[in-house]
Amino acid sequence: MPKKWSTQTELGKLFGLTARQIGTHLSELGLKDGSGATEKALAGGLAAERTLKDGTPFFVWHGEQVPVLLREKGLTPAEPGAPARTGKTAVAVDEPPRPTDGYDKVIATDGSALGNPGPTGWAWVDQTTGETGSGGLPHGTNNIGELLALREGLRHAGPDGALLVRADSQYVINIATKWAKGWRRRGWRKGDGKVPENLELVKEILELLEARRGRTDFEWVRGHTGDVHNERADELAVAAAKAATTGGAPVGASSTAASSTSEPSGGVASAGATAAGGPDAVVPDTEEPVTLW
């Protein structure tokens, strides 16, 4: 008899996919937004929130109904013992590549948590110079990895010059461009009165953004669609998370590597703009790149 609730990793094993790949399918079903479950999933009993001993929230998925939805979507259960299918397929982007001529630096960021929660890695890739930075910690979440990647990418970029940050986490983009300022106005409380998760990281990121003298824009990139810099950041973050399980990836680890240059695509949000919908608004995870304003 199937378990009442399954983690994303367990769902991935059922279909021979990684947790991140399953997450993409859950998002396409409208059950997942960023690293959390949607109101639709929670209200329908398809997802439930759980909390680790350290207070870190995470979500589990209905062990019977969600696999049925995934099968109806076209996924095929894996043979017992089969390894996860990790191949990445590029998809067409409806909009042409966005020129990067107006930016002094373009940085791709990504985070990863093995098992989410679990060993966590972060990484940034400087598309302008080819430099990279990555690191990890023994325990965390995808959200923590994404926030660390942004914080370290901003530190690398410095306060001057026009900067474009490219990320596949709408959670991080929303925090940087909308939510953090709203939370601060309410005394660091969300709309429901709760204290925001990962608050110290959020505060550090807001300080770095407000200290910048140059323009700062954010672009959402759909993950695992063949974008060379997003894929590189993902690879580095996953490697750092794996190394963190053995203590081999200090949080501040970094390296410099050659990197081919490609132009980003999709919608761009400005950190200095004011968005409609308030600081707790949710940006839908759609098939096309999202323009946040």
Catalytic amino acids?
Answer: 110-111, 146, 168, 224, 234
Q: Tokens at residue 53, please?
A: 């001993």
Long-range contacts of 208-213 (CB under 8 A, 24+ apart): 208/151, 208/154, 208/155, 209/154, 209/176, 209/271, 211/159, 212/154, 212/157, 212/159, 212/160, 212/163, 212/271, 213/159, 213/160
C-alpha dist (Å) from residue 14 to 26, 52, 102: 14, 24, 46
Q: Are 222 and 256 in contact (CB under 8 A)?
A: no
| Rounded-to-integer distance, Cα 61 and Cα 23, Å | 11
Quote the crossing angle between the two packed helices 142-157 and 199-211, to the nearest 10°.
20
Residue 41: which residues within 8 A CB-CB, separation 6 or more?
A: 26, 30, 31, 32, 47, 61
| Rounded-to-integer distance, Cα 145 and Cα 90, Å | 24
Q: Which amino acid is at 279?
A: P
Residue 204: which residues within 8 A CB-CB, separation 6 or more?
A: 151
